[in-house]
Structure 1
Amino acid sequence: MKRILVTGANGQLGSELSRLSSDYPQYEWMFADRTQITLNDIDLLNTQLSKIKPDIILNCGAYTAVDKAELEKDLAFAVNHLAVEQIAKYAKDNNVKLIHISTDYVFDGTSSVALNEEAETNPINIYGASKLAGEVACLKENPDSIVIRTSWVYSKYGNNFVKTMQRLMQERDTVNVVNDQIGSPTYAGDLAKAMILILESGIWKPGVYNYSNEGEISWYEFALSIKEFGNYDCNVGGIPSESYPTPARRPEFSLLDKKKIKATYNLDVPDYKESLKKMFI
């Protein structure tokens, strides 16, 4: 029985994988939080991996506090770059399959067409730079890795845009949301299922893949959909990014092209509205 190690067990993606794991009893699942897999201590990390002896690693752990990363650059790079490099080295040396999760924030947002895996990267914040460094190190140390870039992740677990909007729309009469950042949301349950389907497919084609739900929308339009499904009595206003300044810049356009992952693994990618409904069931 193959042992799957999932890092970032308490995060959105780790939690969704945990929820799905009982449907795949052919694997021995190991869900590791930050005490069991310590991503900011490389020596300890290597010791921990050696003790667990996984056959497959799904690296969902990351430093994801985008604005805080501007002040905590060393920590962001330790977790998102150096730890990934170490995990990739371990995977290469021990013949372990590795799927590593990355982000649309590796792009600068200047594109006007959906970004494929070959599109030029140019992160505009520390978080994006640390994640790009992790991608590069992962594929350099272990070219047999699969890297999946995703965007705007949400689920019933953890903190995310959808849960924040659900709360605010019940507390306030008006909510303003930026309307000039374009992309597509990702329901973590869909991404978790896609990762398992890759493992189940019997096909292992290393490299970078994109995955998000279908749809090209702004955060404002996403908020309108949340209002619709929640039937909230709240006015939703659209504002430009300059009216909502944040410590870290966000890409204005980071819509991901999913043709590669759909063709390679015959994946059915749901429309974002179809997946968003699951938050209200």
Structure 2
Amino acid sequence: MKKVLVTGAFGQLGLSIQDIHLQFPNLKFYFFSSKQLDITQKQNVNDVFSQVKFNYCINCAAYTNVEQAEKTPKIAYEVNSKGVENLAIACRNNNVTLIHISTDYVFDGSKTDAYTVEDVPNPINEYGKSKLLGENYIQQTLNQYFIIRTSWLYSKVYGKNFYKTILEKAKIGGTLHVTDKQIGCPTNTLNLAFFIINNLIENNTNFGILHFTDEKAMTWYQFADNIITENKLQDGVVLLKAENYLTFAKRPINSILK
């Protein structure tokens, strides 16, 4: 029986993996919250890896507050870079395959079509830079790894994300202003969870960097419109395009991953 460690297991992706893991009785999962396993603490990481002979580690632990990462980048680098290096070293020392979740934000968004795994990353904000550094640590440390770049990740059930925020505001009603200046591929955490287990653990493909999304490209405005329509809330809300969408952190205009 393959043994699978899941870090950051109580974030939206980790909880989605928890929701489906019983469908895979030939796998034994070990779910650790960020408090139980703080990947920034090397000794904590080593202690957990010494307890069980894991076959896989799915790293869902990440610092994802893009705005705050720009203002106080140290914490982003501690989790997304140094923490990932700690995991990579532990995986190497214990012969564990690392499955790491990365981001579309490793790209600058200047490309006119979809980004492939062959495209050279060029992050334009501290969050993206911290995630790319984590990717680099993995590639320098391990031979057996999967780096999965995904985009606009959301759960309909868990966490704070765009889907749930729009749904909550639409239920209240009134006017919503949403930008149409960025385009990407919204990705449901359940779909990513199934992909990780079915395609990477159950049916092992070639190691390396992968892109995974739900494939349908749209703007944030179009995504909001889809959410409102899906939940039949059109009558109670007016959706408008935000003309003056300002954020502290620079964000890639094109986040489409192929």
CA contact (8 A) 1:97 1:145 kept: yes
Which whole-Å CA distance do the structure 2 matches of 1:66 and 1:172 have between them?
27
Structure 2 distance, partners of 1:204, 1:210, is 13
Q: Distance in 2 between matches of 1:199 and 1:211?
A: 15
- The amino acid across from 1:234 in the alignment is V
Deviation sequence 1:79-126 (CA, Å, 0-9, x none): 101111111111112111111000000011101111000112111111
| Cα drift, residue 42 of structure 1 | 2.5
What's the offset of the Cα at 1:188?
0.3
Structure 1 pair 4/192, CA: closer, same or farther in 2 (3 Å)? same
Counterpart in the other structure of 1:144: 144
Distance 2:126 2:4 in 1: 30
Q: TM-score, normalised by structure 2?
A: 0.95
Equivalent residues in 2 for 1:253-272, closer than 5 Å: 253-257=254-258
Q: For the residues of structure 1 that align with 2:75 and 2:42, how far apart are their CA atoms?
A: 12
Quote the residue 2:221 is aligned against.
Answer: 220
Which of residues 193, 199, 202 in structure 1 aligns to 2:201? 199
Mapped to 1, the partners of 2:92 and 2:98 lie a distance apart of 9
Give the residue type in structure 2 aligned to 1:237.
L
Q: Give the aligned residue type for 1:252.
A: I
Cross-structure match for 1:163: 164
Alignment pair present for 1:237 and 2:240: yes
Give the distance between the partners of 1:44 and 1:95, measured in 2 at CA: 18
Superposition TM-score, scaled by structure 1 size: 0.88
Describe the superposition over 1:121-147 as per-residue Cα deviations: whole angstroms up to 9, x where unpaired: 111111111000001111110022110
* In structure 1, C-alpha distance between the alignment counterparts of 2:178 and 2:246, rounded to whole Å: 12
Secondary structure (helix, strand or coil) at the match of 1:67 reads helix
**Contact 1:36 1:48 survives alignment (8 Å):** no
Structure 1 residues not aligned, in runs of 5+: 258-281
Instruction: Specify the alignment match of 2:121 in structure 1.
Output: 121
Displacement of 1:49: 2.4
User: For 1:47, what is the secondary structure of its paired residue?
Assistant: helix
Q: Give the structure 1 partner of residue 174 of structure 2.
A: 173
* Alignment correspondent of 2:186: 185
**Aligned residue in 2 for 1:102:** 102
CA distances 1:181-218 after superposition (whole Å, capped 9, x unpaired) = 011100000000000012111x3411100000021210
Question: For this pair of structures, how many residues does the alignment match?
Answer: 254
Residue 37 of structure 1 contacts residue 49 of structure 1 at CA under 8 Å; is this kept in 2? Answer: no
Q: Deviations over 1:2-31 (max 9, x none)?
A: 211001111111001000111111111101
Does residue 24 in structure 1 map to residue 24 in structure 2? yes
What is the match of residue 48 of structure 1?
48
Alignment root-mean-square deviation, CA: 1.2
